[in-house]
């Protein structure tokens, strides 16, 4: 019954959260679970159930019954609620929607809760399952899905490449357990790194087109929040959608913040590896950035065969690269101009 009431995005988020909580040994202790929160992000939530309900009403010669679980399945908040229900977490519970930066903003807000002393730990991240026929057609109508390389689909997403034509829609979830150092030390929990800063702002210019000023400002806000200089950053996980407009704009914004260093600074796009999972993408990329810092390894940008002259960066083409990374940025920029940038720093006990 529980599985029937959960949409695919909720199932993805729940599985990821259970694995994260287990790895962190988060609940292997006595204590008030009201001191633990859940903050998840999603862009379209239960869109599959919307599509199924529409089909039941209009796709056949006669109406068919709508699934009794349709309402709880379509709720964006179902993913955070499912996590809390399964783990018995009684603290603040939110699902946040800022389009494709939802997961990043969720992680950033979780960090702020802990900083303020409101909570000792937060399960946070993003989940998305947007691959439906109607949504694919809608994204294609915008002209942002890759239309080339249909015979070799693994090469379709080509961030920063001269011949890029758009992104590939994806599904998935990523969940992190953020907590105070005191909370982690009390039970000898594994520490993978430190989240040091968060920058969130709005371009306030367009529903669909990013603004270079707002994108650059979000990176500056994150660095200021972390009390770090641009010179301390050894890697950037870019938003890097592979669209004609976004990639060069992000590169220009990076240059505005990092100056001449941006030419040699490793900047890669994880969307070339696992596609664009909308509201979950920023959480997936946050996790990739954290692991890059922990392992001193910049992940690659796949399919960047011919770097666009307008993208004056080092995209780490094809192969990951061992490089000293004391701190890194994770960039996420969304429709509506909602930006989220996270700073991760190497943990040194």
Query: Which pLDDT belongs to residue 32?
Result: 76
* Catalytic position from the list 239, 251, 304, 311: 239
182 and 244 co-located in one domain: no
Structural domains of the chain, count: 2
Q: What is the mean pLDDT of residues 218-242?
A: 99
Query: Which pLDDT belongs to residue 1?
Result: 60
* Catalytic position from the list 124, 276, 304, 311: 276
Contact 248, 161 (CB under 8 A): no
103 and 203 co-located in one domain: no
pLDDT tens digits for 146-177? 999 989 999 999 999 999 999 999 999 999 99
Contact 282, 330 (CB under 8 A): yes
pLDDT tens digits for 44-64? 999 999 999 999 999 999 999
176 and 198 co-located in one domain: no
Query: Which pLDDT belongs to residue 349?
Result: 84
174 and 27 co-located in one domain: yes
34 and 127 co-located in one domain: yes
CA distance 102 to 106: 6
Residue 10: Cβ within 10 Å count: 30
User: Does residue 247 lie within any of the structural domains?
Assistant: yes
User: Does residue 142 lie within any of the structural domains?
Assistant: no
202 and 252 co-located in one domain: yes
Query: Which pLDDT belongs to residue 5?
Result: 87
- Asked if 304 is an active-site residue, the reply is no
Query: Which pLDDT belongs to residue 27?
Result: 78
179 and 218 co-located in one domain: no
Tell me the whole-structure pTM to 2 decimals: 0.96
181 and 243 co-located in one domain: no
Q: How confident is the model at residue 339 (pLDDT cuts 50, 70, 90)?
A: very high
217 and 338 co-located in one domain: yes
User: Does residue 2 lie within any of the structural domains?
Assistant: no
In sequence order, what E strands does the chain have?
A: 36-41, 93-96, 121-128, 172-179, 194-202, 235-237, 267-268, 297-298, 321-322, 327-333, 338-345
181 and 276 co-located in one domain: no
pLDDT tens digits for 117-157? 999 999 999 999 999 999 999 999 999 999 999 899 999 99
- Asked if 251 is an active-site residue, the reply is no
- Asked if 100 is an active-site residue, the reply is yes
User: Does residue 153 lie within any of the structural domains?
Assistant: no
Q: What is the mean pLDDT of residues 185-213?
A: 96
Range of the domain at 312: 194-345
* Catalytic position from the list 100, 157, 251, 311: 100
200 and 123 co-located in one domain: no
């Amino acid at each position: 019954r529980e599985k029937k009431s959960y949409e695919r995005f909720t199932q993805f988020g729940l599985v990821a959260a259970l694995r994260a909580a287990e790895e962190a040994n988060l609940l292997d202790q006595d204590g008030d679970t009201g001191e633990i929160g859940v903050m998840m992000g999603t862009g379209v939530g239960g869109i599959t159930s919307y599509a199924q309900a529409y089909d039941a009403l209009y796709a056949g010669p006669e109406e068919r019954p709508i699934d009794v679980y349709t309402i709880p399945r379509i709720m964006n908040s179902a993913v955070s609620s499912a996590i809390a229900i399964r783990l018995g977490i009684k603290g603040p519970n939110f699902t946040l929607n800022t389009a494709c930066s939802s997961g990043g903003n969720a992680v950033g807000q979780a960090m702020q809760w802990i900083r303020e002393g409101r909570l000792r730990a937060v399960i946070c991240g993003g989940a998305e399952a947007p691959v439906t026929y109607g949504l694919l057609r809608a994204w294609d109508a915008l002209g942002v899905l890759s239309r080339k390389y249909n015979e070799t689909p693994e090469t379709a997403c080509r961030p920063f490449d001269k011949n890029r034509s758009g992104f590939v829609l994806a599904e998935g979830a990523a969940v992190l357990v953020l907590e105070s150092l005191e909370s982690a030390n009390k039970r000898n929990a594994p520490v993978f790194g430190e989240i040091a800063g968060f920058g969130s702002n709005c371009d306030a210019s367009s529903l669909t087109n990013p603004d270079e000023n707002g994108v650059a400002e979000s990176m500056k806000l994150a660095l200021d929040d972390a009390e770090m200089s641009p010179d301390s950053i050894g890697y950037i996980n870019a938003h890097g959608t592979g669209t004609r407009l976004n990639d060069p704009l992000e590169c220009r914004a990076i240059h505005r913040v990092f100056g001449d260093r941006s030419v040699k600074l490793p900047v890669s796009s994880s969307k070339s590896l696992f596609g664009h999972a909308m509201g979950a993408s920023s959480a997936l990329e946050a996790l990739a950035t954290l692991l890059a810092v922990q392992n001193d390894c910049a992940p690659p940008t796949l399919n960047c065969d011919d770097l666009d002259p307008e993208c004056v960066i080092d995209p780490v083409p094809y192969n990951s690269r061992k490089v000293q990374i004391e701190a890194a940025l994770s960039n996420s920029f969304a429709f509506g101009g909602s930006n989220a940038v996270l700073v991760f720093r190497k943990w040194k006990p």
